[in-house]
A and B are shown apart, each in its own frame.
Chain A
Amino acid sequence: MRRVSMTSNSRRHPFSSLGEISETRYWVYLLLLPSLLLLFLVVAYPTIYGFVISVREMRLTRPGLNGWVGMKHYISMMSDRVFWISLKNTAIWVAAAVMIEMTLGFIAAVALNRNLPGTRLFGVLILLPYFLPNVVAGHMWALLLDPRLGVINDILVRLGFLSSYKAWFADPNTALAATILVEAWHGFPFFALLFLAGLKGIPEDLYKAAAVDGAGSFTKFKLITVPMLKTVITAAVILRVISLVNSPDLLLVLTGGGPGNSTQVLSLYAFQTAYRDFNFGYAGALSVVMFFILMVFATIYIRLSRITKE
């Protein structure tokens, strides 16, 4: 493995000493060091610090209040009505959005996977919403569903489904459902993308063999497609749930949690507690709870999907 001939040549090269280091066993550490250092600074340290903040009093508006308070924030959370509402709304919001997005994504993937002419163009068009910024997507739908000039209201009235324009985001009964619709529009291409990749990975022979054995399309779907897609489904659901639980963007733009907490979710509540009330300690505790909920969900979900496989 030793280089002999090139050594004298490459000495003049400015990178020659780096080139030599690249032959030693320190090379891999040199490659990893920059990113590890960076991630330590912007992820590991802040995470630990986040746990510390959650057991301290930290309000930027009142610098005098500062110090160790132990589990105080966690205890007051138990009697915080908004926390429980947010928890319930988070569950509804995430479960409904994932279900709708998965269904739409699966339909889109199956249709795209038939590889008819023009599929590539359709693929690009269907993927577009996923890359649209939350801020633009939010305001766009606010305009579409506006109580005075919303085009969706107009269409629904013309078709006779509604008697008059409806203020979708201002009515506590429809606000959460309306935000779920926007989220589904924004997020379903993610599932379409992953399911399509999964479908392309299923060998055609399996279906042919099943057809020879006399299997109908439903049997093929149940016994080939679903089991073969299991890994993809599990991965997609986990990734999507994580990002849905974590990102308050869309709700912040659309409703700000209102009306009357009817669309308040944990991530938004934590963000507002920090951003609006400057109560960092309590916001920190809320996000730590979110983190643990996600961990528990991911563990249970992965366990369950493994068990059903066997």
Chain B
Amino acid sequence: MFKSNRSRRLAADILTYVVLCTLAAFCLGPMVWMFLTSLKPEADIVTSQMQYIPTHITFENYVAIWTQSNFPVLITNSLIVTTVTVAICVVTGTLAAYAFSRLVFRGRNNIMLGYLLIRMFPAVMMIIPLYVMMRTVGLVDSRFGLALAYTSFLLPLFVWMLKGFFDAAPKELESAARIDGSTRLGAMVRIVLPLARNGLVASSVFIAIAAWNEFIFALMLTTGQGSRTWPVGLQLMVGEFQLPWGVLAAGGILSILPVMLLFAVVQRAMVQGLTAGAIKG
């Protein structure tokens, strides 16, 4: 009995590792292939004999995308749009998340539900009126305008995520500070925000990644060099110049590099926040 239990456990463990390795290969395989492609010279990509391990490793694709296209401009635009989006969300969203988490007021649940329902609005339904509105006020093809458009779906997400982190921060310290004569503002700035610091970083990173990756709003709302972000630029390069595969792969690798970095840094806190926010939702 004992022995069969143990061998059954061993079999389950082996099965678990087989499943995990298969899934990891399924997830990573395509990315590894893209990376390998980015290191091959074009002649080795467009070949009748498939090369699984690159025979000539070259960085010419990276040099090409960086020097022979407007990729640096696209990346700069994306950086600016992402930063502005995060700034708007942090400033306005932190206040709202704090209010939802700590204060009791009339209409609280309804407003919170409203923030959640915004997720149901089709992006296309928002894009068309936003485009017409932004054209009227001259914000089409502006990095600030694009960042504003991003807040329409990222701000509610940010508020819900951060509220989860605020909820998790102990209330006792705040009460103690209040008893010691601190104002509500003082308690918020000096006690609650530092306590929820990790959550603030994780939520901001999540918003930043989403803004960095966003494609459909940017495609509609940017028309020229001035504000075009990298996903739109890369997509248009493929369409207009028949971008060689190696160069395209190099561009892809370069543009997901910041995402990987940020993700690696805050992965644990972000996973907590994502799941907490989603489950309560």
**How many contacts A-B (CB < 8 Å)?**
281
A189 and B91 within 8 A (CB): no
Select which of B115, B182, B279 is within 8 A of A6 by beta carbon.
Answer: B182
User: Which applies to chain A's interface (DSSP): helix, strand, loop or mixed?
Assistant: helix
Most chain A beta-carbon neighbours within 10 Å: one of B23, B26, B52: B23
* A residues less than 8 Å from B234 (CB atoms): 135-136, 139
Select which of B33, B156, B182, B256 is within 8 A of A39 by beta carbon.
Answer: B156
Closest to B106 in A: A28
**Distance of A36 from chain B, by nearest CB (Å):** 8
**Residue A35, interface by CB 8 Å:** yes
* A residues less than 8 Å from B281 (CB atoms): 235, 239
Could you tell me which residues of chain A, from 179 to 236, have a CB within 8 Å of some CB in chain B? 185, 189, 193-194, 196-198, 231-232, 235-236
B124 and A32 within 8 A (CB): no
Tally chain A residues at the interface, Cβ within 8 Å.
Answer: 101
**Residue B30, interface by CB 8 Å:** yes
Question: Per-residue 0/1 for B266-281: is the Cβ within 8 Å of any A Cβ (1 yes, 0 no)?
Answer: 0100010011101101
Contact A22:B220 (CB < 8 A) given known A128-B27, A144-B33, A283-B128: no
Contact A15:B185 (CB < 8 A) given known A32-B99, A131-B263, A284-B125: yes
CA gap between A134 and B33 in the complex, in Å: 17
Question: Per-residue 0/1 for A88-123: is the Cβ within 8 Å of any B Cβ (1 yes, 0 no)?
Answer: 000000000000000010011001101010110011
Most chain B beta-carbon neighbours within 10 Å: one of A32, A45, A124: A32
CA gap between A21 and B186 in the complex, in Å: 11
B19 and A46 within 8 A (CB): no
CA gap between A2 and B182 in the complex, in Å: 11
B27 and A185 within 8 A (CB): yes
**Residue B57, interface by CB 8 Å:** no
**Residue B126, interface by CB 8 Å:** yes
**Residue A50, interface by CB 8 Å:** yes
B127 and A271 within 8 A (CB): yes
**Residue A18, interface by CB 8 Å:** yes
A140 and B30 within 8 A (CB): yes
Question: Per-residue 0/1 for B237-273: is the Cβ within 8 Å of any A Cβ (1 yes, 0 no)?
Answer: 0100000010011001001100110011001000100
* A72-80, A167-175, A285-293, A301-309 - interface stretch: A285-293
Select which of B125, B149, B219, B271 is within 8 A of A127 by beta carbon.
Answer: B271
**Residue A245, interface by CB 8 Å:** yes
Question: Per-residue 0/1 for A239-281: is the Cβ within 8 Å of any B Cβ (1 yes, 0 no)?
Answer: 1001101111100110000000000000100110011000010
B128 and A295 within 8 A (CB): no
**Residue B168, interface by CB 8 Å:** no
Select which of A19, A104, A243 is within 8 A of B23 by beta carbon.
Answer: A104
Closest to A41 in B: B148
Could you tell me which residues of chain A, from 3 to 37, have a CB within 8 Å of some CB in chain B? 3-6, 10, 15, 18-23, 27-28, 30-32, 34-36
**Top 10 A-B residue pairs of the complex, sorted by shortest distance between their CB atoms:** A197-B275, A287-B125, A133-B213, A19-B183, A22-B185, A6-B181, A46-B129, A22-B184, A34-B92, A49-B129
Report B's interface with A, CB cutoff 8 A.
12-13, 16-17, 19-20, 23-24, 26-28, 30-31, 33-34, 37, 45-47, 50, 52, 88, 91-93, 95-96, 98-99, 103, 105, 111, 115, 118-133, 148-149, 151-152, 155-156, 159, 181-186, 188, 209, 212-213, 215-216, 219-220, 231, 234-235, 238, 245, 248-249, 252, 255-256, 259-260, 263-264, 267, 271, 274-276, 278-279, 281
